[in-house]
Amino acid sequence: MRCIFMRMRRPDAPTSKPVQLRGDYTRAATDYTVQQEWDRYTEEDHAIWRTLYQRQVGLLERYAAPEFIAGIRSLGASAEHIPRMEDTNRVLSATTGWRVVAVPGLIPEEHFFAHLANRRFPVTVWIRSWDELDYLVEPDVFHDFFGHVPLLTNPAFARFMQAYGAAGQKASRAGGLKMLARLYWYMVEFGLIRTPRGLRVYGAGILSSKGETVYSIESPAPQRIAFDLERVMRTDYLIDDFQKTYFVIDRFEDLFAAGYRTDFLPLYERWRDAPGIPPGTVLPTDKLIDPIH
Ligand code: HBI
Ligand code: FE
């Protein structure tokens, strides 16, 4: 089984291969936003949401970070129906000042970064089909909503996302996009966190995938390495399989501190032309984390 993204997650994908994307981009505004048009979801769309939601929510207690579970609770997201974005926005604006905006799917990264820097999270409007429950090449409404939105209720994580968007706006000039995309991949999509009760998942790419949620915590196969900003930004990732390497933070404040206080420019200059560290590699300087703790 593969992770939910393949191919399209390359940082250059949205702009270079728009024809392969599934969404309807013709009605998007210049910032790529669209209307959610909630009334146009079919009963089948909602049934797919319900199926996905129920099987993931059952895994959260055992596998998800407490902050993620708290986010799911405070959003009051319905197990029954695809959420209405205006309902979500009432909760988000009152907690961290974020909101979600509807988009047709992957959008060019400069627009993606601009939304994040302004505390708007782009959520894809369409939902996958029945034969894609375990595997999908692009983010859909389930991945974006279930995976990403709950943690936007957490102040430290939300501040990191905003700082990430701001960093993205500078990175392209400095040749740093590839390194910055690795930070997003390993931390926002596939991040693990230590808790007093053992390792937990907070990454959206993991938490929207049943197979990888269990694998990332239970499997002896992958390496779990203590978060180190430079190490993460130098590491290549797998786009068509479960990860061989996960990075582990101790608390969301660490992520924010690294993303906000560090000047990425010297890192880009030092590493942007170097070959990436292959996934699954262990360096002598790596601090390996035992999954039991
Ligand atoms: N667009 N809708 C959407 N969702 C993403 O996660 C996304 C994107 N465009 C670009 C992008 N991600 C990547 O460049 C990340 O590496 C930042
Ligand atoms: Fe995502």
Q: Residue 200: its pLDDT value, please?
A: 97
Q: Residue 290: its pLDDT value, please?
A: 84
Q: Which two tokens stand for residue 261?
A: 């206080």
Q: Is 86 within a domain? A: yes
Q: How many domains does the chain have?
A: 1
* pLDDT tens figures, 81-127: 999 999 999 999 999 999 999 999 999 999 999 999 999 999 999 99
Q: Is 201 within a domain? A: yes
Q: Residue 14: its pLDDT value, please?
A: 45
What residue's CA is closest to ligand 1, atom 2? Answer: 106
Catalytic annotation, pick one of 115, 189, 212, 216: 189
Strands 99-103 and 223-226: what pairing?
Answer: unpaired
> Strand runs (DSSP E) across the chain, as ranges?
99-103, 120-124, 192-195, 198-201, 223-226, 245-249
Q: Is 283 within a domain? A: no
> Residues near ligand 1 with C-beta < 6 Å?
11, 14, 103, 106-107, 109, 112, 122, 124, 139, 181, 184
Q: Would you call 143 a catalytic residue per the annotation?
A: yes
Q: Residue 12: its pLDDT value, please?
A: 39
- Give per-residue burial for 118-151: e unless 16+ CB within 10 Å, then b: ebbbbbbbbbbeeebbebbbbbbbbbbbbbbbbb
Q: Is 81 within a domain? A: yes
Residues 9/186/160/107 CA torsion (nearest 10 deg): 0
Q: Which of 106, 116, 146 most suits a substitution to test ligand 1, by most atoms within 8 Å of the C-beta?
A: 106
Query: In which domain, by residue range, is 104 found?
Result: 4-16+26-271
Q: Residue 119: its pLDDT value, please?
A: 98
105 CA closest ligand 1 atom index: 2
Q: Is 234 within a domain? A: yes
Q: Is 180 within a domain? A: yes
Q: Would you call 46 a catalytic residue per the annotation?
A: no
Q: Which of 4, 24, 109 most suits a substitution to test ligand 1, by most atoms within 8 Å of the C-beta?
A: 109
Strands 245-249 and 192-195: what pairing?
Answer: parallel
Q: Which helix (H) or strand (E) holds 270?
A: helix 264-271
Give the single-character DSSP code of 277. Answer: B
CB 230 within 8 A of CB 134: no
Integer Cα distance of 68 and 202 in angstroms? 6
Please state, as a whole number, how many other Cβ atoms lie within 10 Å of the Cβ of residue 70. Answer: 15
What residue's CA is closest to ligand 1, atom 13? Answer: 11
Classified as helix, coil or strand, 20 is: helix
Q: Residue 148: its pLDDT value, please?
A: 98
What residue's CA is closest to ligand 1, atom 15? Answer: 181
Q: Residue 207: its pLDDT value, please?
A: 97
Domain of 161, CATH number, reads 1.10.800.10
Q: How far is the CA of 146 from the centre of ligand 2 (A)?
A: 10
131 phi, psi to nearest 5 deg: -80, 5
Identify the segments of the chain with pLDDT beneath 50: 1-18
Q: Residue 217: its pLDDT value, please?
A: 97
Q: Residue 5: its pLDDT value, please?
A: 44
Q: Is 282 within a domain? A: no
* pLDDT tens figures, 146-174: 999 999 999 999 999 999 999 998 998 89
Q: Is 288 within a domain? A: no
